[in-house]
Amino acid sequence: MKAATSATASGDRQFSVHVASRVNQVVLGVGIIIVVFFILFPFFGGTPMTRRLVDFLSLLALSQLWNLMLGYAGLISVGQQGYIGMGAYTLWLFADVLHVHPFVGVIFAAFVGAIIALPSAALVFKLKGGYLAIGTWVLAEVLKTVVANIKQTGGGSGVTVVAARDMEVSVRIQGTYWWALGATLIAIVVTYLLLRSRTGLALKAIRDNDLAAESCGVNLWRTRLYTFVIAGAGCALVGAISAIHVLFVQPAAAFNINWTAYLVFITVIGGVGTIEGPIIGTIIYFVLRETTAKYGEWYFIVLGLLAIVVTVWSPRGIYGYIAQKTNFYVFPLQRKLRIVGRTAASQEIAAEGGEVAG
């Protein structure tokens, strides 16, 4: 989060372009403390809370990836459960059949996710907007049906991840936790760096107006492909982590549409198109889960209704609303123009509140 990317003098006007404000440097310090707290958590947090945080971090990572696709590339997928499921089964394959250590198998799962995402993108990108969403759902159903009908993968009743079950419990929980934390941090950092880069500008241009972006020379197809593949790899990675976490992989659970329902609701409620949104959304989701989980279906209904209300009446989500009011971003992506000169012309610009949306 470096401030002052450039300072230019042109004639009588002096201005500089900033990404971060001074507050952001304080936030960065606090952020580092929070990350260190999370890294050390398993040593003092106790097993039940650590296990809960694995769920929390997994969902946060998934939501960030879904947000990257929708919020920046305008790709709406409701088929991420396909990658999660394939990640879980790949982990089982590597851990129990090929005898790779489960924590190494996670990496192979991510590769498999990326490999599946490539031809999938070629197919679903032929569909537009909403139909693209159902296309991703069909692909997830295809993967689920194939896996559920193969006898070697246990068919509909699934398989136990023996290699993970035989691990020492504390090692397994801590390892899963750090993988989940790593996945979340990678998802956030990759999203942030990607959006700060040239590709990020292209993505934001696509999000705002894909036709205009394309006519400015943005390669729409390739840029969308990148985000789709990154999301596919990330979701498979989280799927693999969940397989080690619950020790059991079953088609109905691993490929469940509810996975995507969580991601959609979390991201939409928190705020699409911001890195902060999914964080807030995941926290809200967990508060709801801890307080209403025993009411079964009710909790899904409440979550769904909340997402409906936000979509219709506050489409930018909770964080979008806060950011609009305060113009404060924990992860600054907007490029702000600050006028330094004191000439009449520059003051006029300053009075207009010169800000360049990034």
Contact residues for other proteins (CB under 8 A)? Answer: 70, 74, 76, 78, 122-123, 126-131, 133-135, 137-139, 141-142, 145-146, 149, 257, 261, 264-265, 268, 296-298, 300-301, 303-305, 307-308, 311-312, 315
Least Å distance, CB 299 to other proteins, is: 9
Which CB, 257 or 284, lies closer to other proteins?
Answer: 257
Treating both helix axes as pointing N-terminal to C-terminal, what angle do 220-246 and 169-196 enclose, rounded to 10 degrees?
Answer: 170
Which CB, 173 or 280, lies closer to other proteins?
Answer: 280
C-alpha to C-alpha distance for 113 and 90, rounded to whole angstroms: 9
Least Å distance, CB 268 to other proteins, is: 6
Least Å distance, CB 311 to other proteins, is: 5
Query: How many beta carbons lie within 10 A of that of residue 223, not counting itself?
Result: 21
Indicate if the alpha-carbon torsion angle 172, 176, 179, 185 is positive or negative.
Answer: negative
Look up residue 198 and give its amino acid. R
Look up residue 56 and give its amino acid. F
Give the gyration radius of the chain's Cα atoms. 22
Which CB, 137 or 285, lies closer to other proteins?
Answer: 137
Which CB, 155 or 354, lies closer to other proteins?
Answer: 155
- Tell me the residue ranges of DSSP E strands in the chain: 6-10, 13-18, 159-160, 248-249, 336-339
Least Å distance, CB 162 to other proteins, is: 26
Least Å distance, CB 276 to other proteins, is: 19
Which CB, 51 or 316, lies closer to other proteins?
Answer: 316
214 burial type by CB count under 10 A (0-12 exposed, 13-18 middle, 19+ buried):
middle
